[in-house]
């Protein structure tokens, strides 16, 4: 996602912690997640636990810079 979801999440956190507005609407975050997961693309009510699971998983994938993980064999000792 080229960092779009991570940037949306970062902007949401900044808005929440600055406290300049009485209300903060996470529209950009939901829109960014909806482009990746079709279940969240509309305005239907969804389970918040599923939303958080998808959000954290996609942010993890988005920020992971390892292209090829080396295989490390564990010793039996």
Tell me how far the alpha carbon of residue 24 is from its chain's centroid: 17
Tokens of 29: 């975050």
**Stretches in the chain below the pLDDT threshold 70:** 1, 66, 77
CA distance 24 to 13: 10
- The predicted pLDDT at position 1 comes to 67
Tokens of 22: 């009485």
Write out the E strands in 1-77: none
- The predicted pLDDT at position 14 comes to 92
């Amino acid at each position: 996602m080229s960092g779009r979801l991570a940037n949306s999440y970062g902007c949401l956190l900044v808005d929440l912690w600055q406290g300049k507005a009485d209300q903060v609407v996470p529209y950009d975050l939901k829109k960014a997640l909806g482009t990746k997961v079709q279940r969240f693309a509309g305005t239907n009510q969804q389970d918040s636990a599923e939303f958080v699971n998808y959000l954290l998983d996609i942010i993890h994938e988005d920020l992971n810079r390892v292209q090829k993980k080396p295989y490390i064999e564990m010793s039996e000792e």
